[in-house]
Amino acid sequence: MSATASIRDLRNHFPKVRKLVEAQGEVLLSENGRTRYRLILHTETPAPTAPPVDYWARLTAHQPAPLTAAQARALHDDNRGER
């Protein structure tokens, strides 16, 4: 069975209503004699954890492909010039 309180009780006697929520788990609030709102006790839910970030994979994804042996030899020969 849930407790009941009015909007005026919530406004003027909040500590009493808070104790009712903590004890009962739920309080029905009435406005003009009609039940309009329901206060329930908030329960903390654990935040979902994201998988750890693989920084090495992110770094290597942005790196250019390595030169082949033939490309490296051609670059070396171009940089040597006429000696």
The reported pLDDT for the residue numbered 80 is 87
The Cα-based distances of 66 to 16, 40, 63, 72, 75 in angstroms read 72, 61, 9, 9, 13
Q: Is residue 58 part of a domain?
A: no
Domain encompassing residue 27: 3-40
The Cα-based distances of 18 to 1, 26, 41, 48, 64 in angstroms read 16, 10, 9, 29, 62
Contact (CB, 8 A) for 67 and 75: yes
Query: pTM surpassing 0.85?
Result: no
pLDDT tens per residue, range 50-82: 999 999 999 999 988 889 999 999 999 888 877
Looking up residue 14, the CATH number of its domain turns out to be 3.40.1620
Question: What proportion of the chain, given as a percentage, has pLDDT over 70?
Answer: 98
Q: Is residue 57 part of a domain?
A: no
The reported pLDDT for the residue numbered 59 is 92
Q: Is residue 83 part of a domain?
A: no
Contact (CB, 8 A) for 66 and 75: no
- Domains contained in the chain, number: 1
Q: Is residue 7 part of a domain?
A: yes
Q: Count the residues in the chain.
A: 83
**83 pLDDT higher than 70:** no
